[in-house]
Structure 1
Amino acid sequence: MSLRPLFVTQVYEATLAGGAGFAAFNEELADACRMLAAEDQAGRLWCRQHGYRGYTSYGSLTDLPVRLPEFAELKRHLDKHAQAYAKALNFDLARKPRLDNLWVNILKPGGGHTGHIHPHAFLSGTIYVEVPDGASALKLEDPRLPMMMARPGVRGDASEAEQPFVYLAPQAGTILMWESWLRHEVPVNAAKSERISISFNYA
């Protein structure tokens, strides 16, 4: 007997940590994120209206790489990773992946983000800036769940690839990317301090 794994979902993981100047760059990113949270009135209004516990620039700012040099440098890093991921997925592209949007997330203790996908993009991801002890993991959902009908659950010792949900616990500097149709969420932040990340889409 043999088993053939088909239709595999590939999640990309890399890190900026360990590179030259990472600590200083990461601190600059954290400062830039907090500065936006303090100054972006439209963003704070969007968060209040949508019940977001913390701050996100998702609903207010779409030009961060032009607005601040820290995000321009981050874009240069992310562009290389997006290109590597697309190549690993064997995508037949007419051009390199293009950054469509980049937004800051500062999640306060008790905050979370319910399950969602990212329409109008083909690669999405997050880079993590500050991940205190107890901070939320990224929860990824098996995309086949809506079609599983009477399928039994799996044993607790089943491999990660067979689980209906997978939790990825990032550290500062971790880059995670996935195809934009993959449903994901951020469970409640159980840390005692803010969790800072920067999310992005490539189209």
Structure 2
Amino acid sequence: MSPEFLLTTLIVVLAPGTGVLYTLATGLAHGTRLSIAAALGCTLGIVPSLLAAITGLAAIMHTSALAFQVLKVLGVIYLLYMAWRTLRDSGALAVNSDDKGDEHPRPSLSRVVATGALINVLNPKLSVFFLAFLPQFLDPTGASTIPQMLVLGGAFMLMTLVIFIGYGAGAAWLRRHVVGRPSVMNWLRRTFAGAFVLLGAKLALAER
């Protein structure tokens, strides 16, 4: 595994995207524990795209306008749904207390993980990215292609998990300074909702 691969992966993972946004929002609203669940979900959401790239399904999707458009539309709808829930104070930034009678019950770990996974599963550009990205770092004199891509994909996922946990932990630390300030939370809610809309628009304009 080359230093170039690790450095490029670090840059890619650090770049703001839907997974980063969701992990930050979860950390701000619910603290460290659920932000780790969000990071885990976003990381698990990489698996289908990675397997698609390894098996060549990504190449099929890349050449099939219908398959790409269907997945893209589903992804855009889901991002707009996330924005709508955030604005309604019922999504990732619905700040909850630990009281059983709270208006917004704390989401379960499984729900947070599933939401994070769906964010990446419904991104058709991810499998195409892996198809273009991983082969650049294969060693032609080494093992066969599939084991090498599995190792590279595993390293990419591990780095994603670690960095996203760091993002979530930072947001959870900031939480104590903003949760008790409704004006700040309202501003954050609008900002995150707007970011989800922008990411949805970016995906809607994406070309194969």
TM-score, with length taken from structure 1: 0.29
Higher fraction of helix = 2
TM-score, with length taken from structure 2: 0.28
Higher fraction of strand = 1
